[in-house]
Amino acid sequence: MLMQLDMFFQLPSRFISSLFMLKLFDQFVDNPIAGTYLALRKKLLTDSTYSTLTLEATEIARLIEQQLFTKALELLDSLQPGCLLSPRLHFFLATIGEKVGDTEQLEVERFLFRTCLDGILDTGSGDRRSPFIVTHPTDVADVLNTLEIEKETQFLVEDNEHRYDVIRSVSGEEYCFDITALLRPEEVGIWRHESLLN
């Protein structure tokens, strides 16, 4: 089991099919700022393995809770490299590393979790003029949790060709996330009626 996990945790080369994407990932990890985040994000959004991660995250959490780590890793593997910028993915990998006693990989995945969040937070200030730019719907909840923001309401705002996920906190502040690239027109209704993963 540990051997399988060790093989799985060989990031990033095992997940990244092109040298160009590997270079973008390395640049981002070395310097997790808006520019490197957005360059890698642009590439990932067009990759055939990209997923919004919404449905898969629920299943992965269930598998981890049931200690079905191999199955969880197989599902995580199938989402790569398209979910490489997802803090939630690295949180799941860190959790598995912790549960199987792999402290080195626990630290690697915690680092990548924080790196992904740093990249998101550098894309804007979180207001409507300068929203955070996310790659997966689950990123919104991960940012809110990291900033210790308690959500009161959440709604979709459409402005010309842009779509924003707007969170109003219990303290009355607003946080805005640009989700334009994540939604096809037919998915807008689903976004309005489904709450994001917490």
Q: Tell me the pLDDT tens digit for each residue of 50-79.
A: 888 878 899 999 999 999 999 999 999 888
In the prediction, which pLDDT does 59 show?
Answer: 94
Given this model, what pLDDT does residue 197 score? 39
Nearest to 31 by CA among 142, 118, 91: 118
- What's the pLDDT at 79? 87
Look at residue 24 in the predicted model and tell me its pLDDT.
92
Q: Check whether residue 88 and residue 18 sit in a common domain.
A: yes
CA-CA-CA-CA torsion sign (110, 115, 120, 121): positive
Same domain, 24 and 64: yes
Residue 126 inside a domain? The answer is: no
- Domain coverage including residue 172: 132-193
pLDDT, block means (10 residues), the chain with 198 residues: 42 59 90 97 90 87 95 89 92 94 91 97 96 95 95 89 92 94 61 43
The number of distinct structural domains making up the chain is 2
Residue finishing a domain among 74, 89, 121: 121
